[in-house]
Amino acid sequence: MSPELIQNVIDSDEKSDLRSFISELRHQEKQYLLRNDILNAYREYCSKYQKPPEFYQSSNLGKLIYYTQEIIREDGNICLIIRSKIASQEVYRLTEELNIEQLAVEELLDVRDRFVNHYHPNEGDILELDFQPFYDYTPTIRDPKNIGKGVQFLNRYLSSKLFQDPKQWLESLFNFLRLHKYDSMPLLINGRIQSQQQLSEQIKKALTFVADLEIDEPYEKFRFVLQLMGFEAGWGNTAGRVRETLEILDELIDSPDHQTLEAFISRIPMVFRIVLVSPHGWFGQEGVLGRPDTGGQVVYVLDQAKSLEKQLQEDVSLAGLDGLGVQPKVIILTRLIPNSDGTLCNQRLEKVHNTDNAWILRVPLREFNPNMTQNWISRFEFWPYLETYAIDAEKELLAEFKGAPDLIVGNYSDGNLVAFLLSRRLKVTQCNIAHALEKSKYLFSNLYWQELDDKYHFSLQFTADLIAMNAANFIISSTYQEIVGTPDSVGQYESYKCFTMPELYHVVDGIELFSPKFNVVPPGVNEAAYFPYSRMEDRVISDREQLEDMLFTLEDPAQIFGKLDDPNKRPIFSMARLDRIKNLTGLAECFGKSEALQEHCNLILVAGKLRVEESGDNEERDEIEKLYHIIEQYNLYGKIRWLGVRLSKSQSGEIYRVIADHQGIFVQPALFEAFGLTILEAMISGLPTFATQFGGPLEIIQNKTNGFYINPTNLEETAERILDFVTKCDQNPNYWYEISTRAIDRVYSTYTWKIHTTKLLTLARIYGFWNFTSKENREDLLRYIEALFYLIYKPKAQALLAEHQHR
């Protein structure tokens, strides 16, 4: 489509407009224009030359500009990166004479290197990384709409294979069923069934037998009869359940299709022990939220652990295994911090509240420089310790589980790298969850990595990301756009498709976006802590009164800044870490600039520390100073409350409900948000929610139906949107209730942990089955990844470690 787009402009009378527009660009200061810059420049061009609105929107030039993601000016030529459809881009050089030349990815990466003056053509070629050949042997999705639906695709693919070559595939299915054990106890089938043919015959005999039993007859009562037929435990806890499972398998053998395959595989008891890896930050159950690097990920992992354990217990019970001593176990693997600052982060083992067998296992970093390894370490500085941490964690996990786990789930870049190292050594299914890929959060972070490496160490982080995402058996994203963006924005994983780290390496093809390893499985919200404000019977009166006082009237200079002139005004509320991306200072400035908003509302922020000297995090210190400056600049005294408090889970749930009691609103103003758990928490509490249009909130909120989008970079427009809502509520008191009710309904229908964990465990089983039946040879890919680890990652990690030892 892209060459036609350009050619259509050149072959029409719009050619002179293209020439004029390029001429305008040449007079701009910027040499590297991103999509927003390009659209603004085109808007200015159309305004300057008084073009009609239809020219701006629907001319051939307008379409070309719309699809152009980046423009790089170079020596009189311009380089156009055109993204005419999701998950694909093409690159063209347009000369001053308007000649078109298509560029290969390698040439584009050279152009980018030249742009930052890090291109040295006479010093040999740069290392090129290309993962595409490793995906040539695996099935790939064709339609971009189906990206992120990997498990459905795999089911269809596998069942079509079963249909094409039933003998070979049913032999694989038979061998797969023979594999399953819990410790040394056989599950599903025993040695009395010797072949796939015999399996088919015995299924029919077993079906005849269980059909005569009462539907709720316990498995224990007829267990020995099934054993004599060749069937061990795992088919079900009652005669009815055993019959259902055997019928599904019988149907799968006789007439395979993808739905039957998923229904059967999702019942197989093959996952009992799960590791959730989340190494950085302060990982604990109380007194940690709001500390540096400690926020939504901790909440997510704890809630996921509880839900997984509950689901595993349910699965074990339904499979008829709970009477046989089968005990599912979930371990959260994190870091032990000796100087734990009053938290439990120096405890090796801690039970997860409200679970039977879910634990936090903290493994210390090996002792290098005690000034570093005894204390909290920023996630940007964590890299030198991960390899030895993984080796030590392996021993601890094997001891805790008394064997290997069945599934390892990594969280964030560091956790995913540890998950890769562990799964490589233990030969266990690896799942990745990014939470946020920093590459898309920090503009041009790869191009300027050399300038940023002292502070952020992106060379290590982006290398770790490439290693982990390609090694993973499957990847969970919270949203579709996390993978491939939207029609007008690049996805987080898509940003790894091709990029340059000047003078380090070129990534020609960093990830296959159409791989079935990608699955969209949004997280849930903790329904014990977060529930609608109207459920008064579940609310604790003392918590409510204490938080009411804290939010609106309590004077406590140690942890509260600001006294409200009129506490009865409608509260605008936000709660997040004080860092640049979360952008609470942007919300304060938006409020400061709008006198109309100040007239109607108060601004209440729950955010980290109040004093610069209390923080050990550079970015947090900068934001603290900035927030005080904004309060001073716009004279917000009497209109703002800033709480530097740490809340327990139950308090953070109640705080949303107290704001809802006052018919307040929640604003999430992040410059970018990968998903947005606080949005779910606010919505399920019943708060009308305004959230950034950059990232995951676009898929959570349906604009103007159950919440609202804002552009946090446009402060005036954001203020207008909030003001418009507040005005409507003043005119029609029911309007607040309508949005509140729809927000609650949205979360309950789509974002519960029950939905999440059921899908996650189905994925683990399907990908386990896929790896077994396809006999996919991943060794060449894993060797390539190991080379990247040992030749690029490890030397850089060791250099950073040497630097740490001198601190």
Per the domain annotation, does 790 fall within a domain? no
pLDDT range class, residue 508, cuts 50, 70, 90: very high
The answer to whether 435 and 674 have CB atoms below 8 angstroms apart is yes
pLDDT exceeds cutoff 60 at 690? yes
Position 122 scores a pLDDT of: 67
Domain with residue 353: its CATH number is 3.40.50.2000
pLDDT exceeds cutoff 80 at 198? yes
- Do residues 317 and 372 share a domain? yes
The answer to whether 502 and 118 have CB atoms below 8 angstroms apart is yes
Beta strands, E only, 510-631: 518-520, 560-561, 570-575, 601-606
Q: Who's near 368: CB < 8 A, 6+ residues apart?
A: 384, 385, 801, 804, 805
Find the mean pLDDT for residues 43-68. 89
- Do residues 295 and 253 share a domain? no
- Do residues 283 and 194 share a domain? no
Domain span holding position 656: 536-751
- Do residues 255 and 331 share a domain? no
Per the domain annotation, does 382 fall within a domain? yes
Q: Who's near 324: CB < 8 A, 6+ residues apart?
A: 182, 185, 233
pLDDT range class, residue 12, cuts 50, 70, 90: confident
Report the DSSP pairing between strands 505-509 and 128-130: parallel
Spatial strand order of the sheet with 68-74 comes to 32-34, 68-74, 77-85, 88-94, 100-103
Per the domain annotation, does 528 fall within a domain? no
Find the mean pLDDT for residues 244-271. 92
Which of 436, 471, 488 is where one domain is finished?
Answer: 436
- Do residues 252 and 276 share a domain? no
633 is written with which tokens? 């600049």
Q: Could you report the per-residue pLDDT of 213-228, keeping only the tens digit for each?
A: 999 999 999 999 999 9
Q: Nearest 5 degrees, angle CA 572-CA 684-CA 540?
A: 85
pLDDT exceeds cutoff 90 at 600? yes
628 is written with which tokens? 């005080």
Position 436 scores a pLDDT of: 86
Q: Could you report the per-residue pLDDT of 414-432, keeping only the tens digit for each?
A: 999 999 999 999 999 999 9
Coil vs helix vs strand at 312: helix
pLDDT exceeds cutoff 80 at 26? yes
- Do residues 288 and 259 share a domain? no
Could you give the maximum distance between any two Cα atoms of the chain, in Å? Answer: 87
Return the number of other C-beta atoms located less than 10 Å from residue 344's C-beta: 17
The answer to whether 658 and 530 have CB atoms below 8 angstroms apart is no
415 closest CA partner among 291, 293, 554, 570: 293
Per the domain annotation, does 779 fall within a domain? no
Return the number of other C-beta atoms located less than 10 Å from residue 27's C-beta: 6
The answer to whether 530 and 656 have CB atoms below 8 angstroms apart is yes
Position 409 scores a pLDDT of: 98
21 is written with which tokens? 């527009």
Q: How far lies 67's CA from each of 57, 350, 609, 705, in Å?
A: 12, 52, 43, 29
Position 130 scores a pLDDT of: 97
Percent of the chain whose pLDDT exceeds 70: 99
Q: Could you report the per-residue pLDDT of 629-663, keeping only the tens digit for each?
A: 999 999 999 999 999 988 877 888 999 999 999 99
**What's the chain's average pLDDT?**
92
- Do residues 584 and 725 share a domain? yes
Position 692 scores a pLDDT of: 95
Position 169 scores a pLDDT of: 80
Reported as half-sphere exposure (CB side, CA atoms, 13 A), residue 396 has a value of 22
pLDDT range class, residue 588, cuts 50, 70, 90: very high
CA dihedral 10, 12, 13, 18 (to 10 degrees): -30
pLDDT range class, residue 489, cuts 50, 70, 90: confident
pLDDT exceeds cutoff 90 at 537? yes
- Do residues 171 and 72 share a domain? no
Domain with residue 93: its CATH number is 3.10.450.330
Q: Could you report the per-residue pLDDT of 762-797, keeping only the tens digit for each?
A: 999 999 988 888 766 788 999 999 999 999 999 999
CA 291 to chain centre: 21
pLDDT range class, residue 1, cuts 50, 70, 90: low
Domain with residue 253: its CATH number is 1.20.120.1230
Per the domain annotation, does 447 fall within a domain? no
pLDDT top residue among 743 and 155: 743
Per the domain annotation, does 329 fall within a domain? yes
Spatial strand order of the sheet with 128-130 comes to 128-130, 505-509, 499-501
pLDDT exceeds cutoff 80 at 153? yes
| Helix 150-164 × helix 258-265 angle, to 10° | 110
Position 366 scores a pLDDT of: 95
Q: Nearest 5 degrees, angle CA 656-CA 661-CA 666?
A: 40
Separation of alpha carbons 209 and 454, rounded Å: 70
Per the domain annotation, does 9 fall within a domain? yes
- Do residues 407 and 344 share a domain? yes
Position 2 scores a pLDDT of: 62
How many structural domains is the chain composed of? 4
Per the domain annotation, does 453 fall within a domain? no
pLDDT exceeds cutoff 80 at 625? yes
Find the mean pLDDT for residues 158-170. 81
Which helix (DSSP H) or strand (DSSP E) does residue 88 occupy? strand 88-94
- Do residues 334 and 198 share a domain? no
Q: How far lies 39's CA from each of 166, 246, 692, 721, in Å?
A: 55, 59, 20, 23
158 closest CA partner among 249, 262, 247: 262
- Do residues 54 and 155 share a domain? no
- Do residues 578 and 605 share a domain? yes
Q: Could you report the per-residue pLDDT of 384-416, keeping only the tens digit for each?
A: 999 999 999 999 999 999 999 999 999 999 999
Q: Could you report the per-residue pLDDT of 553-563, keeping only the tens digit for each?
A: 999 998 999 99
pLDDT exceeds cutoff 90 at 162? no
Percent of the chain whose pLDDT exceeds 90: 73
